[in-house]
Structure 1
Protein backbone atom coordinates (compact mmCIF):
# COMPACT_ATOMS: atom_id res chain seq x y z
CA UNK A 1 0.00 0.00 0.00
CA UNK A 2 1.26 3.48 -0.76
CA UNK A 3 2.41 5.69 2.10
CA UNK A 4 -0.61 6.43 4.29
CA UNK A 5 0.94 8.37 7.16
CA UNK A 6 -0.98 11.59 7.44
CA UNK A 7 -3.58 10.84 4.76
CA UNK A 8 -6.82 12.51 5.82
CA UNK A 9 -9.95 10.38 6.17
CA UNK A 10 -13.64 11.15 6.46
CA UNK A 11 -15.60 8.52 8.41
CA UNK A 12 -19.36 8.33 7.84
CA UNK A 13 -20.97 5.89 10.28
CA UNK A 14 -24.22 6.16 12.24
CA UNK A 15 -23.37 3.70 15.02
CA UNK A 16 -21.23 5.50 17.61
CA UNK A 17 -19.26 2.49 18.84
CA UNK A 18 -18.59 1.29 15.28
CA UNK A 19 -17.42 4.79 14.32
CA UNK A 20 -15.01 4.82 17.28
CA UNK A 21 -13.70 1.39 16.30
CA UNK A 22 -13.11 2.48 12.68
CA UNK A 23 -11.44 5.71 13.80
CA UNK A 24 -9.11 3.76 16.11
CA UNK A 25 -8.18 1.31 13.37
CA UNK A 26 -7.48 4.13 10.93
CA UNK A 27 -5.30 5.95 13.44
CA UNK A 28 -3.42 2.71 14.20
CA UNK A 29 -2.76 2.40 10.45
CA UNK A 30 -1.33 5.94 10.31
CA UNK A 31 -4.30 7.86 8.91
CA UNK A 32 -5.59 11.15 10.28
CA UNK A 33 -9.35 11.16 10.86
CA UNK A 34 -10.42 14.72 10.03
CA UNK A 35 -14.15 14.23 10.47
CA UNK A 36 -16.51 11.54 11.71
CA UNK A 37 -20.19 12.14 11.00
CA UNK A 38 -23.36 10.14 11.44
CA UNK A 39 -25.97 12.09 9.50
CA UNK A 40 -26.46 12.11 5.75
CA UNK A 41 -26.87 15.87 5.30
CA UNK A 42 -23.80 16.66 7.43
CA UNK A 43 -21.75 14.05 5.60
CA UNK A 44 -22.72 15.44 2.17
CA UNK A 45 -21.70 18.94 3.25
CA UNK A 46 -18.36 17.79 4.61
CA UNK A 47 -17.69 15.53 1.60
CA UNK A 48 -18.23 18.51 -0.70
CA UNK A 49 -15.80 20.83 1.08
CA UNK A 50 -13.38 19.03 3.38
CA UNK A 51 -9.74 18.46 2.57
CA UNK A 52 -9.74 14.65 2.65
CA UNK A 53 -7.79 11.96 0.82
CA UNK A 54 -10.15 9.05 1.48
CA UNK A 55 -13.57 8.27 2.97
CA UNK A 56 -15.12 5.26 4.70
CA UNK A 57 -18.89 5.27 4.11
CA UNK A 58 -21.48 3.20 5.93
CA UNK A 59 -23.97 2.19 3.22
CA UNK A 60 -27.00 2.64 5.49
CA UNK A 61 -27.22 5.79 7.62
CA UNK A 62 -30.27 5.52 9.86
CA UNK A 63 -32.26 3.99 7.01
CA UNK A 64 -30.92 6.32 4.30
CA UNK A 65 -28.38 5.15 1.69
CA UNK A 66 -25.07 7.01 1.55
CA UNK A 67 -24.82 6.90 -2.25
CA UNK A 68 -25.31 10.67 -2.61
CA UNK A 69 -22.16 11.16 -0.50
CA UNK A 70 -20.33 8.68 -2.73
CA UNK A 71 -21.39 10.69 -5.78
CA UNK A 72 -19.98 13.88 -4.26
CA UNK A 73 -16.69 12.16 -3.46
CA UNK A 74 -16.49 10.57 -6.90
CA UNK A 75 -17.07 14.00 -8.46
CA UNK A 76 -14.11 15.33 -6.45
CA UNK A 77 -12.02 12.25 -7.38
CA UNK A 78 -11.64 11.26 -3.73
CA UNK A 79 -11.33 7.49 -3.21
CA UNK A 80 -13.79 5.85 -0.83
CA UNK A 81 -14.82 2.49 0.46
CA UNK A 82 -18.23 1.27 1.54
CA UNK A 83 -18.75 -0.42 4.88
CA UNK A 84 -21.84 -2.59 5.24
CA UNK A 85 -23.45 -5.50 6.94
CA UNK A 86 -25.58 -6.21 3.87
CA UNK A 87 -22.99 -7.43 1.33
CA UNK A 88 -22.62 -6.53 -2.33
CA UNK A 89 -26.33 -6.97 -2.95
CA UNK A 90 -26.92 -3.68 -1.15
CA UNK A 91 -25.00 -1.66 -3.74
CA UNK A 92 -26.55 -0.24 -6.92
CA UNK A 93 -24.92 -1.18 -10.23
CA UNK A 94 -23.08 2.15 -10.49
CA UNK A 95 -21.11 1.28 -7.34
CA UNK A 96 -20.83 -2.49 -7.86
CA UNK A 97 -17.06 -2.29 -8.41
CA UNK A 98 -16.39 0.01 -5.48
CA UNK A 99 -14.22 -1.44 -2.69
CA UNK A 100 -16.52 -2.81 0.00
CA UNK A 101 -15.84 -4.15 3.47
CA UNK A 102 -18.35 -6.27 5.36
CA UNK A 103 -19.06 -5.65 9.03
CA UNK A 104 -17.66 -6.78 11.32
CA UNK A 105 -14.12 -6.43 10.00
CA UNK A 106 -10.55 -6.50 11.28
CA UNK A 107 -7.89 -3.82 10.99
CA UNK A 108 -6.12 -6.00 8.42
CA UNK A 109 -9.28 -6.27 6.29
CA UNK A 110 -9.74 -2.50 6.52
CA UNK A 111 -6.14 -1.98 5.43
CA UNK A 112 -6.56 -4.30 2.44
CA UNK A 113 -9.81 -2.64 1.34
CA UNK A 114 -8.27 0.82 1.63
CA UNK A 115 -5.27 -0.34 -0.39
CA UNK A 116 -7.66 -1.44 -3.16
CA UNK A 117 -9.39 1.97 -3.11
CA UNK A 118 -6.13 3.91 -3.21
CA UNK A 119 -4.70 1.84 -6.05
CA UNK A 120 -7.72 2.22 -8.35
Structure 2
Protein backbone atom coordinates (compact mmCIF):
# COMPACT_ATOMS: atom_id res chain seq x y z
CA UNK A 1 0.00 0.00 0.00
CA UNK A 2 3.03 2.27 0.06
CA UNK A 3 2.24 3.74 -3.37
CA UNK A 4 -1.54 3.67 -3.09
CA UNK A 5 -1.85 7.16 -4.54
CA UNK A 6 0.75 6.82 -7.28
CA UNK A 7 -0.09 9.27 -10.06
CA UNK A 8 -3.26 10.46 -8.31
CA UNK A 9 -4.52 14.00 -7.83
CA UNK A 10 -6.02 14.76 -4.43
CA UNK A 11 -8.02 17.71 -3.14
CA UNK A 12 -7.46 18.43 0.56
CA UNK A 13 -9.86 20.87 2.18
CA UNK A 14 -8.28 21.88 5.48
CA UNK A 15 -7.98 25.24 7.24
CA UNK A 16 -5.27 24.35 9.78
CA UNK A 17 -1.86 24.91 8.14
CA UNK A 18 0.09 22.45 10.32
CA UNK A 19 -2.49 19.71 9.77
CA UNK A 20 -2.40 20.42 6.03
CA UNK A 21 1.39 20.12 5.92
CA UNK A 22 1.19 16.79 7.76
CA UNK A 23 -1.46 15.51 5.32
CA UNK A 24 0.57 16.66 2.30
CA UNK A 25 3.61 14.78 3.63
CA UNK A 26 1.56 11.63 4.16
CA UNK A 27 0.07 11.85 0.66
CA UNK A 28 3.54 12.34 -0.84
CA UNK A 29 4.73 9.23 1.00
CA UNK A 30 1.79 7.35 -0.53
CA UNK A 31 2.90 8.42 -4.02
CA UNK A 32 0.43 11.23 -4.66
CA UNK A 33 1.28 13.17 -7.82
CA UNK A 34 -0.54 16.40 -6.97
CA UNK A 35 -2.17 17.80 -3.83
CA UNK A 36 -4.39 20.83 -4.20
CA UNK A 37 -5.17 22.49 -0.89
CA UNK A 38 -8.16 24.67 -0.11
CA UNK A 39 -8.71 26.45 3.21
CA UNK A 40 -12.22 27.72 2.48
CA UNK A 41 -15.38 26.39 0.87
CA UNK A 42 -15.04 29.02 -1.88
CA UNK A 43 -11.46 27.91 -2.68
CA UNK A 44 -12.52 24.26 -2.70
CA UNK A 45 -15.42 24.85 -5.09
CA UNK A 46 -13.16 26.87 -7.40
CA UNK A 47 -10.59 24.03 -7.41
CA UNK A 48 -13.29 21.47 -8.24
CA UNK A 49 -14.43 23.63 -11.15
CA UNK A 50 -10.85 24.06 -12.38
CA UNK A 51 -9.63 20.45 -12.46
CA UNK A 52 -10.40 16.79 -12.01
CA UNK A 53 -9.49 14.96 -8.81
CA UNK A 54 -9.16 11.25 -8.16
CA UNK A 55 -10.14 11.56 -4.50
CA UNK A 56 -10.67 14.25 -1.86
CA UNK A 57 -10.43 14.76 1.87
CA UNK A 58 -12.72 17.31 3.53
CA UNK A 59 -12.37 18.76 6.99
CA UNK A 60 -15.98 18.94 8.18
CA UNK A 61 -15.51 22.33 9.83
CA UNK A 62 -13.60 25.19 8.23
CA UNK A 63 -13.50 27.94 10.82
CA UNK A 64 -17.21 27.48 11.53
CA UNK A 65 -18.32 26.68 7.96
CA UNK A 66 -19.34 23.12 7.11
CA UNK A 67 -18.11 21.55 3.87
CA UNK A 68 -21.33 19.91 2.69
CA UNK A 69 -21.52 22.11 -0.43
CA UNK A 70 -18.03 20.85 -1.34
CA UNK A 71 -19.18 17.28 -0.71
CA UNK A 72 -22.20 17.89 -2.94
CA UNK A 73 -19.98 19.22 -5.76
CA UNK A 74 -17.63 16.22 -5.50
CA UNK A 75 -20.52 13.74 -5.39
CA UNK A 76 -22.06 15.36 -8.48
CA UNK A 77 -18.79 14.72 -10.34
CA UNK A 78 -18.40 11.19 -9.01
CA UNK A 79 -15.25 12.00 -7.02
CA UNK A 80 -14.88 9.76 -3.96
CA UNK A 81 -14.11 11.58 -0.72
CA UNK A 82 -13.67 11.20 3.00
CA UNK A 83 -14.57 13.58 5.77
CA UNK A 84 -12.12 14.36 8.55
CA UNK A 85 -12.82 15.89 11.92
CA UNK A 86 -11.17 16.60 15.21
CA UNK A 87 -14.49 16.66 17.04
CA UNK A 88 -15.77 13.57 18.80
CA UNK A 89 -19.44 14.56 18.74
CA UNK A 90 -19.84 15.16 15.01
CA UNK A 91 -23.24 15.38 13.39
CA UNK A 92 -23.24 13.94 9.89
CA UNK A 93 -25.92 15.28 7.55
CA UNK A 94 -28.39 12.86 6.00
CA UNK A 95 -27.11 11.62 2.68
CA UNK A 96 -23.52 11.53 3.94
CA UNK A 97 -23.79 9.17 6.93
CA UNK A 98 -22.32 6.37 4.78
CA UNK A 99 -19.22 8.39 3.85
CA UNK A 100 -15.91 7.42 5.45
CA UNK A 101 -14.86 9.55 8.42
CA UNK A 102 -11.27 9.95 9.55
CA UNK A 103 -10.85 11.16 13.13
CA UNK A 104 -7.99 13.57 13.83
CA UNK A 105 -5.28 13.01 14.79
CA UNK A 106 -4.54 10.10 12.45
CA UNK A 107 -1.52 8.22 11.19
CA UNK A 108 -0.45 7.61 7.58
CA UNK A 109 -1.57 3.99 7.85
CA UNK A 110 -5.11 5.10 8.74
CA UNK A 111 -5.14 7.56 5.83
CA UNK A 112 -4.07 4.80 3.43
CA UNK A 113 -6.65 2.39 4.85
CA UNK A 114 -9.50 4.86 4.40
CA UNK A 115 -8.47 5.81 0.83
CA UNK A 116 -7.81 2.24 -0.40
CA UNK A 117 -11.44 1.15 -0.87
CA UNK A 118 -12.33 4.48 -2.50
CA UNK A 119 -9.64 4.05 -5.13
CA UNK A 120 -10.17 0.36 -5.82
CA UNK A 121 -13.64 0.82 -7.30
TM-score calculated relative to the size of structure 2: 0.90
Partner of 1:56: 57
Equivalent position of 1:45 in the other structure: 46
Determine if contact 2:57/2:82 at 8 Å carries over to the other structure.
Answer: yes
Secondary structure, aligned partner of 1:51? coil
CA distance in 2 between partners of 1:74 and 1:88 (Å): 24
Specify the alignment match of 1:26 in structure 2. 27
Residue matched to 2:104: 103
RMSD: 1.8
Residue of structure 2 equivalent to 1:65: 66
Over 6 Å off, 4+ runs: none
Segments of structure 2 that go 5 or more residues without pairing to the other structure are none
Q: Give the structure with the higher percent helix.
A: 1
Task: Give the deviation of 1:27 after TM superposition.
Answer: 0.6
Give a deviation string over 1:10-34, Cα, whole Å, max 9, x none: 1110000000000100110111233
Q: Structure 1 14/103 Cα, relative in aligned 2: closer, same or farther at 3 Å?
A: same
Is the partner of 2:19 in helix, strand or coil? helix
Is contact 2:24-2:35 (8 Å) kept? Answer: no
CA contact (8 A) 1:23 1:33 kept: no
